[in-house]
Structure 1
Amino acid sequence: MKIAIVGCGLAGMSAAYDLVNAGHQVDIFESTDYPGGLAGGFKEPEWTWSLEKFYHHWFLSDSQMLGLIEELGLKDHLVIRQPKTVMYHKGQFYPFDSIPAAILYPGLGWGINKIRFGLATLYIRLTRNWKPMEHVTVDTWMRKWAGETAYNQMWLPMLDGKFGEHYARQVNMAWMWARLHSRTTKLATFEGGFQAFADAFAAELQKRGVTIHYKTGVDQIHQNDDGKITVATKGSEQNFDRCLVTVSPALMAHMAPDLPSDYLQGLLNLKSLGAVVMVLAIKHRLSDKGYYWFNLPKAAGFPFLALVEHTNFLPKEYYGGDHLLYCGDYLETDHEYFKLTQEELLERFLPALQRINPEFKPDWVRKTWLFKTNYAQPVPLVDHSRNIPDIRTPMAGLYFASMSQVYPWDRGTNFAVEIGRKAARMILTDSQK
C-alpha cells in the first residue's frame, strides 16, 4: 500500500516504522523542518547537546518508548538519573520524590492525615482497575479517601496550576490514577537530547525507505470516488491507499471537513490546554541543593506552574557551561501569556526566581527563549472514555491518532509511540480484510 502520515512526531514516526517494515510505501508530511513534534529541541552553537523546547524526560516505566529504543539498537544511548523533586510549603521546599519523602512533607500534618494519604497513594499504585475512577472527579475522590488536608495541601494546588480554575475540579480521577500508578523516581533521557533521538529515528526511517516531506503542511484531506485518500498540500495533491493523521483534534477537523458531522463535532468538543514555556540560560546555579523539579502553587503567588532546573538533571557542560531553567505553564489559549512578548513575560517571571533563591539577580540571565503551543494537555472530564474519537475514522482509509486518545494515560512520548503503533496495527489488519 501507499500510505500517508501527517505529522513527524513520535506517533507518526512509530507508525511509519511498523508500516515500512511490513513492506508498504510510506510518506510523512511535516509542516516544520525537523522531526520530533512537541519533543523537538534546539541547540546553541556552543552546546554539545540539544535542549527540548518543552521539558521532557522518560520514566523507567515507559516501556513502549524504551522498547522502541532497544529495537532501534540505541539502548546504549540512554542516560538515567535520579533528580530531586520538591513541593512548596510556607516559604520552604521539601523533597517529594518518594513515598517516605511525601509522608515527611509537613503540609500533610500528622497522624490520621498521613495515614489516609499513605493508604490512598498505596491503593492507586497497586490497583489496575481505573475504570470506576473515571465516573468521579479527582476533587470528589481525593477529598473522600485521601482527606481534606492532603487534598488541599497537595493535589488541589497541582490541579489548579495544571488545569486552571475552569477545569481543575472537573478532571476525572482516572487521570490522577494514571499519573501516580506507574511513574518512577529515576528518569531517563537520550544522549544528545530528545532531538538527537528524533533525528536518529528519522534517519533510520529514511534508510528503510520512508520519504519525509519537511516544510510541507497538509491543507486538506478528502476521499476520491475510487476510495483513495487525497492529501492536498500547497501546490500539490497526492493519492494514497491509507492516511494516518497525528495532529491535534482541532487541526484534524480542519484538514478533513468531509468527515461526518458527529465525528467532527466529537473532535471539536475535546478539551485541551496550551503551553507557554520560557527557557533561561543563567550564569549561576539557582538551587544549590540540586533540586530539579519545583512544584509551585499558583495560590502562593507564583506566576507559573513548574520550575525545572534542567542542569540539576544533566551536567551544564553539555550546554556550554550554561545553567538552564524552564518556567512552564499549561494555560487556556486565550490567556494573556500567549499575547505577552518574551521581554514582558520575563519581567513577570523574574520575581519568582528571586523568591526561590534570594541571591538571584536579573543580570544572571544570559539569554532566554520562549515557546508556545496551543495543544499540549488534553482535559479528561468525567466519563471521558465515551468522548474519545475512534482511531478508525468514518472515512474509509483515514485514521486519527493523537494524545487526546491515549487516555487514561497522560500525554507524553511513551504513549505517542504506543498509539502510533496501535494505529499501524489497525491499518495492517484492515488491509487484510
Structure 2
Amino acid sequence: MTQSVQRIAVIGAGPMGLAVAYQLALDGHQPVVFEADDRVGGMTATFDFNGLEIERYYHFHCISDEAFLALLGELGLSDRMRWVETKMGYWFRNRVQPWGNPLALLRFQGLGLIAKIRYGLHAFLCTRRRDWQPLDHVEATGWIRRWVGEEAYEVLWKKLFELKFYEYTHGLSAAWIWSRIRRIGRSRYNLFKEKLGYLEGGSATLLKAVSDAIVAHGGQLRLGTPVSRVDIQDGRVTGVHLPSGFEAFDRVVSTVPLPYVPRMMPDLPPALLEQFSARKNIAVVCVIAKLRRPVTGNFWLNTNDPEMDIPGIVEYSNLRPLEHHVVYVPFYMPGEHPKYREDDQAFTGKVRRYLKRINPDLSDSDFIDIRASRYRHAQPICEPGYLDTLPSPSLPVKGLWVADTSYYYPEDRGISESIGFGRRLAKDVMA
C-alpha cells in the first residue's frame, strides 16, 4: 500500500535538518525547510572571507565518517574528497612540540616516563573500545585521572577541559569524552601517521549539492524565515507561525538547539518544557585569520600556556591547500560567562598576540585579515547518563519530532553524525 505524500516542516537548515529534508524528499514527501539565517549550513555555513569562500567554524573529516562518505557517493561527490597526512603539535613550555603518535609522546618534554606510558595506554585502549555503556554514568575527569595519573592529567588534560567547559569541567560524561578520543584515533592508518580529509570547495560543495537535491525532489528551502511558534491543537501539530503568518503542515521536525524549543513550543506539557530548558550549552567565539606565512606545520596544535585562554589552534590550510594560510582560533565558554559579552576586537587582539607568541617570526604585516564569529549553542554539555535526561525525539504530540546534535550521544557533534542521525530520524518520522 503506497504511503500518502506528507507536507512536513523541517526547522533548521544545519546538516541534521538538511539530512532530514533530503531523506524525506527522496522518499516522495514534500519537506519545507525553514532557516532563520540567510544561508544553509548552521555551524557549517560559509562566508566570504576577503575573497575566500570558507566555513565560519572549522571542520574536517575522518576516514570513519561513514554517513558523510555515503552521502557524497549518492550525490556524485566522492571524487571531490581529498585525504591528507596531517600533523599535530603541542604548545607547552614556550615551544611547539610534536604530538599525536607514540614517538612524539616518548620525546615530549615536561612529562615523566611512567606518565607517558599511562597516557599512551589509555589512548590506545580508547581506540579499541567499542562498548560505551560502562562509561555512560562515569564522570570524565575522574575516569581520565585514574587511567593516566595526576601528572599527565595536569599537563595534558586539565587546561583542555577548563578552557572549554569552565564550571562544567567536573560534570561531563566519560562516554562522551571517550568518543572524541576514539574518533581521532581511528583516523590513523598506522601508529605514527594520521589521515584527515577535506572536500574540494569546503562544506559549500556539500551544502549546495544537498540543497539542490532537496529542491529537485520536490522540497523547498526558505532562508531568512524564522519559525516563531509551532501550533499545537488538541494534542496534534497543525503547522507553524512565520513572519508572513500561519502555514499548515501535517508534521513538524525541529533540529535547532534544544534551548530554543520552549520559546517555539510553549504549549508542550510543562514537564517537557522543563527538560528542554534544563539543557546547557557551551558558546564559541571563533576567530579566523588569513596570514601570509604559516604559524606552524601542524593542522592541530593543543596549547597549555598560562598566558593563553584557548585550548588550541587549527591551521586549516595545513589540511586544505589555500592561496594564503588560514588559522582558526576558538574561544569556548558558557554563554552566560562575562567573556562572551566582550567585543570582537578583544578576541582578535588576543589571537594576534597568541599567534606571534607561538611563531615570533610573524609580524603585524603578515595578517591579511581577521574576523570573529559567534555561536551561542555550539556544544551541548553532556553529563553522565545524558540520554536518560532527554525526551524521546517523538514527542507526545501527534506529528511533532524534536532533536539536535546531543541526541546522537555519546558521539560528539559532527557533520557525519548529524547526517546519519537526520536520515534515520526522517525514516522514523514517516514510519
Q: Give the TM interval when normalised to the shorter protein.
A: over 0.9
Q: Show the counterpart of 2:171.
A: 170
Q: Does 1:375 align with 2:377?
A: yes
1:300 aligns with 2:306: yes
What displacement does 1:103 show? 4.0
Structure 1 residue 350 displacement after superposition: 2.1
Give the one of 23, 28, 31 matched to 1:23. 28
Q: Secondary structure at the match of 1:82?
A: strand
CA contact (8 A) 2:348 2:372 kept: no
- Show the counterpart of 1:53: 56
Q: Which moved more, 1:333-342 or 1:191-200?
A: 333-342
**Partner amino acid, structure 2, of 1:314:** R
- 2:291–2:367 CA contact under 8 A, matched in 1: yes
Change (3 A) 1:252 1:226: closer
Residues 149 and 8 (structure 1), Cα distance of their counterparts in 2 relative to 1, 3 Å cut: same
Question: Structure 2 vs 1, CA of residues 23 and 156 (structure 1 numbering), >3 Å: closer, same or farther?
Answer: same
1:187 aligned onto 2:187: no
C-alpha deviations, 1:205-253, integer Å up to 9, x for none?
1111111111111000022349442111112211111111010111112
- Asked whether the equivalents of residues 134 and 173 of structure 1 are also in contact (C-alpha less than 8 Å), the reply is yes
Q: Which amino acid aligns with 2:15?
A: L
Q: Which amino acid aligns with 1:145?
A: W
Aligned equivalent of 1:266, options 275, 278, 298: 275
With the length of structure 2 as denominator, give the TM-score of the two structures.
Answer: 0.92
8 A contact 1:103–1:118 mirrored in 2: no
Q: Percent identity?
A: 28
Contact 1:179/1:410 (CA < 8 Å) preserved in 2?
yes
Contact 2:91–2:358, Cα closer than 8 Å, also in 1:
no
Runs of 4+ in 1 over 4 A off after TM superposition: none
8 Å CA contact retained: 2:9, 2:32: yes
- The secondary structure found in structure 1 opposite 2:299 is strand
Q: Distance in 2 between matches of 1:34 and 1:71?
A: 23
In structure 1, C-alpha distance between the alignment counterparts of 2:235 and 2:265, rounded to whole Å: 17
Alignment partners' CA distance in 1, 2:88 and 2:107: 14
| Partner SS, residue 392 of structure 2 | coil
Q: Against the structure 1 CA distance between its residues 212 and 355, is the aligned structure 2 distance closer, same or farther, given a 3 Å change threshold?
A: same
Cα deviation 1:257-302 (Å, max 9, x = unaligned): 1111111111111111011011112222222xx12211122x5221
What's the counterpart of residue 220 of structure 1?
229
Corresponding letter in the other structure for 1:316:
L
CA contact (8 A) 1:294 1:307 kept: yes
Structure 1 unmatched runs, 5+: none
Judged with a 3 Å threshold, the aligned counterparts in structure 2 of structure 1 residues 225 and 266 are, in CA distance, closer, same or farther, namely closer
Alpha-carbon contact 2:11-2:256 (below 8 Å) kept: yes
Q: Determine if contact 1:84/1:97 at 8 Å carries over to the other structure.
A: yes
Q: Which amino acid aligns with 2:364?
A: P
Distance, in Å, in 2 between the alignment partners of 1:46 and 1:329 is 25
Where do 1:4-403 residues align within 5 Å?
A: 4-44=9-49, 46-47=51-52, 50-110=53-113, 112-164=114-166, 166-183=167-184, 184=187, 185-225=194-234, 227-287=236-296, 290-297=297-304, 300-317=306-323, 322-403=324-405
Report the Cα distance in structure 1 between the residues aligned to 2:145 and 2:14, rounded to whole angstroms: 38
TM-score (structure 1 length as normaliser): 0.92
